[in-house]
């Protein structure tokens, strides 16, 4: 089972350019999340979506936007990248059955903004 | 709001020795508690979780954790570690009513030495 697929795996981006990180899941989970991982800070929530058609802001939403047109896809867009957005980005989904909050993660997208 | 504090950023330990990774949390509402493990260049995967009931929970790879409500702690333990346990470990909390926005600690890097 694929689970969550993220693309690209790695990307170098010039400051000021835009970039979309793709996330697709095949588990039909309603809730999806974007986190960024930085050394010493753990994972911080950027945006989330509880179901298709709805999104919400997490702890560090500035400079990022998301959309949720359907259940499977949850892209993250950086409209004008800055060096402080250099990070590893993880997409995750939450299993609906049992409703216990367990998250399933993709392999991550490493973004470097120069 | 919730917060998670992992008290050790790095824990070096010899193979076959016991280990404890410490986690304290704060929350104004009831939460579910999780430990996730991240192996190098991979996403996070669930190690174990506490939802309710018995305060001692067992997870994969011989790990266990004990929920202590009075001390708001959820420390992770393993009686005998292996080289393959070398990884980053994250403690996380999720409110058990609505939203399910998971908050992570900063992580503890476990380094098992031969």
Query: What are the structure tokens assigned to B84, written together?
Result: 């393959």
Q: Do the Cβ atoms of A45 and B102 come within 8 Å? A: yes
Q: Is B67 left (phi over 0), alpha (psi -120 to 50) or beta?
A: beta
Q: What is the pLDDT of residue B2?
A: 84
Higher pLDDT, A47 or A95: A47
Q: What mean pLDDT do residues B107-113 have?
A: 96
Q: What mean pLDDT do residues A38-55 have?
A: 93
Over residues A90-101, the pLDDT tens digits come to 999 997 766 677
Q: What is the pLDDT of residue B95?
A: 85
Query: What are the structure tokens assigned to A73, written together?
Result: 């896809």
Q: Do the Cβ atoms of A101 and B9 come within 8 Å? A: no
Averaged pLDDT score across all residues of chain A: 93
Q: Do the Cβ atoms of A31 and B100 come within 8 Å? A: yes
A9 pLDDT higher than 80: yes
Q: What mean pLDDT do residues B82-108 have?
A: 89
Query: Residues 7..46 of A with a Cβ closer than 8 Å to B: which?
Result: 31, 33, 35, 40-45
Q: What mean pLDDT do residues B88-110 have?
A: 88
Q: What is the pLDDT of residue A65?
A: 98
B92 pLDDT higher than 70: yes
Collect contacts of A39-45 with beta carbons under 8 A, ≥24 apart.
Answer: A40/B9, A40/B106, A41/B106, A42/B4, A42/B6, A42/B90, A42/B104, A42/B105, A42/B106, A42/B107, A43/A90, A43/B44, A43/B90, A43/B104, A44/B104, A45/B101, A45/B102, A45/B103
- Chain B neighbors of A106, CB-CB under 8 A: 43
Question: Given CB atoms, is B103 within the 8 Å cutoff of chain A?
Answer: yes
Q: What is the pLDDT of residue B97?
A: 74
Q: What is the pLDDT of residue A40?
A: 87
Q: Do the Cβ atoms of A33 and B105 come within 8 Å? A: no
Q: What mean pLDDT do residues B35-56 have?
A: 92
- Please report which confidence band the pLDDT of residue A82 belongs to, taking 50, 70 and 90 as the band edges: very high
B81/chain A closest Cα distance in angstroms: 23
Over residues B46-81, the pLDDT tens digits come to 999 999 888 999 999 999 999 999 999 999 999 999
Q: Do the Cβ atoms of B107 and A31 come within 8 Å? A: no
Collect contacts of A96-100 with beta carbons under 8 A, ≥24 apart.
Answer: A96/A29, A96/A30, A96/A31, A99/B100, A100/B32, A100/B49, A100/B51
Question: Given CB atoms, is A103 within the 8 Å cutoff of chain B?
Answer: yes
- Chain B neighbors of A4, CB-CB under 8 A: 43
- Going by the DSSP 8-state scheme, the letter that residue A95 receives in this structure is -
> Does the CA dihedral A110-A7-A48-B90 come out positive or negative?
negative
B28 pLDDT higher than 90: no
From residue B100, give the alpha-carbon distance in Å to each of A24, B29, B60, B71, B112.
Answer: 20, 12, 23, 23, 33
A38/chain B closest Cα distance in angstroms: 9
Distance (Å, whole) CA A105 – CA A5:
9
B36/chain A closest Cα distance in angstroms: 9
Averaged pLDDT score across all residues of chain B: 93
Question: Given CB atoms, is B25 within the 8 Å cutoff of chain A?
Answer: no
- Please report which confidence band the pLDDT of residue A37 belongs to, taking 50, 70 and 90 as the band edges: very high
């Amino acid at each position: 089972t694929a689970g969550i697929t993220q693309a690209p795996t790695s990307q170098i981006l010039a400051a000021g350019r835009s970039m979309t990180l793709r996330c697709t899941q095949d588990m039909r989970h309603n809730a999806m999340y974007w986190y960024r991982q930085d050394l010493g800070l753990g994972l911080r929530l950027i945006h989330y979506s509880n179901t298709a058609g709805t999104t919400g802001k997490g702890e560090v939403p500035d400079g990022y936007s998301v959309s949720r047109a359907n259940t499977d896809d949850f892209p993250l867009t950086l409209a004008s990248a800055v060096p402080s957005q250099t990070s590893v980005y993880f997409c995750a989904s939450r299993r609906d059955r049992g409703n216990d909050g367990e998250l399933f993660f993709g392999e991550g997208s490493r973004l470097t903004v120069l | 709001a919730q917060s998670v504090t992992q008290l050790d950023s790095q824990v070096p330990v010899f193979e076959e020795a016991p280990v404890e990774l410490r986690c304290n949390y704060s929350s104004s509402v009831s939460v579910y508690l999780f430990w996730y493990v991240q192996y190098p260049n991979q996403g996070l995967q669930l190690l174990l979780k506490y939802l309710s009931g018995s305060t001692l929970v067992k997870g994969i790879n011989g790990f266990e954790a004990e929920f202590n409500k009075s001390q708001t702690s959820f420390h992770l333990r393993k009686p005998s570690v292996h080289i393959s346990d070398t990884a980053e470990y994250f403690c996380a909390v999720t409110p058990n009513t609505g939203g399910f926005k998971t908050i992570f600690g900063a992580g503890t890097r476990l380094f098992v030495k031969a």
